[in-house]
Amino acid sequence: MSTRRSEPLAQVSDFDIRLLKLFRSVAECGGFSAAESVLGIGRSAISQQMSDLEQRLGLRLCQRGRAGFALTEEGREVYQSTQQLLAALESFRTEVNGLHQHLRGELNIGLTDNLVTVPHMRITNALALLKERGPEVRIHIRMTPPSEVEQGVLDGRLHVGVVPQAGALSGLDYQTLYDERSLLYCAVGHPLFYVDDQQLEDARLDAQDAIAPTFRLPPEVQSHYQQLNCTASASDREGMAFLILTGRYIGYLPDHYAAAWVQQGRLRALKADTRFHDLSLAAVTRKGRRPHLVLESFLEALAATA
């Protein structure tokens, strides 16, 4: 080859990598003929591809002819560089494949309060599966009101959240997990605590001081609160429980959350046959999010718990 390239190699393409792999085999076999059986192609094809590589690089890589095969000085340097490049590619492939077996990174998850008592325990079970698959994964849970969970997912502070489903916000995807039932409760000390349901008139019930949530709810759930005399509010279910347990207010709580107090005789449901509402809980993620292997693994685990 009479001249070198006048400009640097702009990029290394897939075609270049295939040629470099062929060159490595030729160099390690010590010639074109010896490389035929290794590469599974004829000598003429090897010769043509070697010429293509030399043209691509602008370098003479080997001497071939009656005197035999030998790498040039530049060929030896390219061979060493080829070894490094192909080793780096193999290391990259191994590490990426390893990520599927050994997850690393963080999962930032936002939860509506007091989901831990849900009998289905899908979130807990999914987190257990995630930790089993990726022992090095770091899980960070934030307990915040539903609106903050959704905002955290939208702005990227949270990877995923679990909230009551009250209509989809633009930019978010919702995956329904399960429904929870809420009953209307009062506590020991409240005037209605010992009143039999059959003697409890709706008008008297609706006149009691009650608690309204400040987080978003679907219209069919909001109608239950509109019947009540809501003189207090709370941003989450724990706040509602605090007020109900004063014995001065009535309010709706998820039955799984209230169960322990009911068993202790501290809470009772009022007209449970008619005063209840069901609410869907959903996992929420951002639309168009970047690929995130830990998040996808958690969502797969969540789906597997259905």
Give the start-to-end residue ranges of the domains of the chain: 14-99, 114-306
At residue 4 the predicted structure's pLDDT band, cuts being 50, 70 and 90, is low
Q: Are 281 and 180 in contact (CB under 8 A)?
A: yes
- pLDDT for the residue numbered 182: 95
Fold topology of 114-306: D-Maltodextrin-Binding Protein; domain 2 (3.40.190)
* Res 100 pLDDT > 70: no
Is the pTM higher than 0.75? The answer reads: no
- pLDDT for the residue numbered 116: 75
Q: Are 252 and 182 in contact (CB under 8 A)?
A: yes
Q: What is the mean pLDDT of residues 249-272?
A: 96
Q: What is the mean pLDDT of the chain?
A: 89
Neighbour-count burial of 80, counting CB atoms closer than 10 A to its CB (0-12 exposed, 13-18 middle, 19+ buried): exposed
Out of 30-39, 159-168, 221-230, the most confident range is 221-230
- pLDDT for the residue numbered 120: 76
At residue 273 the predicted structure's pLDDT band, cuts being 50, 70 and 90, is very high
Q: Between 129 and 291, name the one with better pLDDT.
A: 129
* Res 2 pLDDT > 70: no
- pLDDT for the residue numbered 1: 45
Euclidean distance between CA atoms 159 and 286, whole angstroms = 8
Q: How many CB atoms lie within 10 A of CB 115?
A: 23
Q: How far is CA 22 from CA 8, 16, 89, 182, in A?
A: 22, 10, 16, 69
The two tokens of residue 123 are: 């979130």
- pLDDT for the residue numbered 3: 44
Q: What is the mean pLDDT of residues 99-113?
A: 81
- pLDDT for the residue numbered 134: 87
State the DSSP H helix or E strand holding residue 179, giving kind and residue range, or none if neither: strand 172-187
Rounded to an integer, what is the distance from CA 189 to the centroid of its chain? Answer: 45
Q: 14-99 domain in CATH 3.40.50.720?
A: no
Q: What is the mean pLDDT of residues 185-203?
A: 95
